Amino acid sequence: MLKQVQFQDIGLRPYKEVWDFQENLLAQNISAKQSGTPPPNYLLFTEHYPVYTLGKNGNEANILINEAERVEKAVEYYHINRGGDITYHGPGQIVGYPVIDLDQFKTDLGWYLRSLEEVIILTMNYYGLHGERSKGETGVWLNASVKGSERKICAMGIRCSRWITMHGFALNVNNDLSFFNNIIPCGIQDKKVTSLAQELGRNIDMNEVKQLLKENFEKVFGAQLI
């Protein structure tokens, strides 16, 4: 039987607003679970105004601009409670936040992250791009094993409490990649960042990508988005 997941596309929003929204959903779901009620599952899609986020164990040395320069560029900064290091979110990037109870799927964080990666890889296949995993590094890449040609197209970082997830993935579609020049993305030296638009040489229909992501999420997770 397909597991039902409530889908919401909440559009372009400030980072903190959506972080707080996820935290509220997580708290509600933990409370439901503690009372013996299976919590609802959610998949949120959003875009953020320009923001750098640093994971809980990330290294601030990977931020290459100071606060004054961030203010000048109108980009926010938050040290947050997900895994992973520093990344950038901005308009033209599709950010997906599954708030799901892995007790209803599979209680294995490795499986969960590989499944999120598979959703992205299947979506890239539609555009004739071969998405790959990079050994020891979460996310999706192009030419992951070709030294000097590695390009990251999707970053991932999650939090999990009582087997309920939050945070998720950020797929570069049409976003301005120059913002990544001000950080060492994901704390990984000497590797590039790319986007669907960069690889294909044209702007990509965001709604088309969202539809593909939804279909592939359903396929990989055995879910029905409602």
By annotation, the residues acting in catalysis are: 186
Cβ proximity of 42 and 23 under 8 Å: no
Residue-level length of the chain: 226
Long-range pairs of 111-118 with CB within 8 A, sequence gap ≥ 24: 112/158, 112/160, 112/165, 113/138, 113/156, 113/158, 115/220, 115/221, 116/156, 116/168, 116/169, 117/154, 117/156, 118/216, 118/220
DSSP structural state of residue 83: S
The CA distance from 152 to 169, in Å, is: 12
